[in-house]
Structure 1
């Protein structure tokens, strides 16, 4: 049993689950996963308890500073990796879903309308994004799973996970998961959805634009 944490190799692991079934996924792995993989909430109550007692259970954590930066660079940053990878299919949906509320809050509706209409003017900085999460935690855009705290996604205080893996040392620690589950499989390659935000030096360049109190408020709910 795997608890999926967005921006912590979830695309790679869902792809691996299909590969273990002999299925090569060429389209959106997340869409197929919703339709074809079995989720705990779909099971009867008795079956859920059986799974929780007897299955090998694991989750993957990630440095919260790097995880939120990865989410920004993938979904929110102008010409980010999501827009590049989906250039022919709804490339700007995250601008409307999250970028627009951020711009409206800090720069007003007129500026937001202008940025949505004129794509070249769109600009939500990392500072804007993080301040928004801190200032408006109850808004729908702030509660997206891509930056939701891991505790609210996987309930590690309630579920007795056999292994809690660190994203940063996944290659080594996942071998323990395979051993416990009796699986013979190769670790998945890093997904093409992954942004190159694991560099501490690179993260420093982004985070140094934020006031210290904003950094502190940002990371507190993201810590496991």
Structure 2
């Protein structure tokens, strides 16, 4: 959740003056692996020391809203060709009756219901782990193993991010980038995506993400038809 902007903020905090404003950093540069060190680059002793002494935080989001956001970003935007090729072509091949040759080759027109079928297909996780954008947060961030000092929420992102920056003693000039309210996925938008998903598949999808609902205190969405 808000991974790109957090990486931008961390680059400002660790960049030795190279950047002063997180929004100056292009999104693609924020994801260059060499710009920020990860735990895997340290020894086991160094990792354990950091897990004991560093401030640890994780941000979560309403699980199905996060899922629809991932679908919209990775499968409906023309520039995400890497996702279209890697995942879209497979989804079309397996979950669309009589797909066109163009769809098989490009994978750039995946429907939301096809994406749902892909997530619930046992073959998907047998072949490889879920992509991080739709993996369950409890599987991705291990909150039952790592003791997070702060569990922030997307719904209160601005306030929670400000609080974390205060905790780490960041300069007051460092601001967490504001999110775009015009393009973000909302609860109403998520409800629209689920209108055409049958109750059977809604129930199975909810069960797939149920642990995230329980761990992070999210209520069952009113639009879901689970019976």
TM-score per shorter chain, which class? Answer: 0.7 to 0.9
What is the Cα-based RMSD across aligned positions, in Å?
Answer: 2.5
Which residue is 1:13 aligned to? 6
SS of 2:190's equivalent in the other structure is helix
Q: CA deviation at 1:116?
A: 4.0
Gaps of 5+ in 1: 1-7
TM-superposition CA deviations, 1:61-85 (whole Å, max 9, x none) = 01111111011101113xx2xx2xx
The corresponding residue for 1:134 is: 120
Aligned partner of 1:150 in structure 2 is: 137
CA contact (8 A) 2:158 2:178 kept: no
TM-score by length of 2: 0.78
CA distances 1:48-101 after superposition (whole Å, capped 9, x unpaired):
111111111101001111111011101113xx2xx2xx3xxxx42222211111
- Match of residue 217 from structure 1: 204
Aligned-residue offset at 1:188: 1.9
> Gaps spanning 5+ residues in structure 2: where?
216-227
8 A contact 1:11–1:191 mirrored in 2: no
The count of residues paired between Structure 1 and Structure 2 equals 201
| Deviation (angstroms), 1:179 | 2.6
Match of 2:26 in 1: 26
Distance in 2, matches of 1:60 and 1:174, equals 9
Counterpart Cα distance in 2 of 1:173 and 1:47 = 28
Determine which of 153, 156, 160 is the counterpart of 1:173: 160
Q: Within 5 Å, which residues of 2 pair with 1:75-114?
A: 75-77=74-76, 80=77, 83=78, 86=79, 91-107=80-96, 111=99, 113-114=101-102
**Residues 1:50 and 2:49 are matched in the alignment:** yes
What is the aligned partner in structure 1 of residue 220 from structure 2?
A: none
* Cα-to-partner distance string for 1:94-123 (whole Å, 9 max, x where unaligned): 222111111111236x62533245x6x953
The answer as to whether partners of 1:12 and 1:191 remain within 8 angstroms in 2 is no
Question: Which residue matches 2:225?
Answer: none
CA 1:219–1:42 in structure 2 vs 1: closer, same or farther (change >3 Å)?
farther
Q: Secondary structure in 2 aligned to 1:169?
A: helix
Distance 1:127 1:148 in 2: 17
User: In the alignment, is the contact (CA less than 8 A) between 1:70 and 1:195 conserved in 2?
Assistant: no
Q: 1:189 aligns with which of 178, 182, 192?
A: 178
* Higher RCO by CA contacts (8 Å cutoff, separation 6 or greater): 1
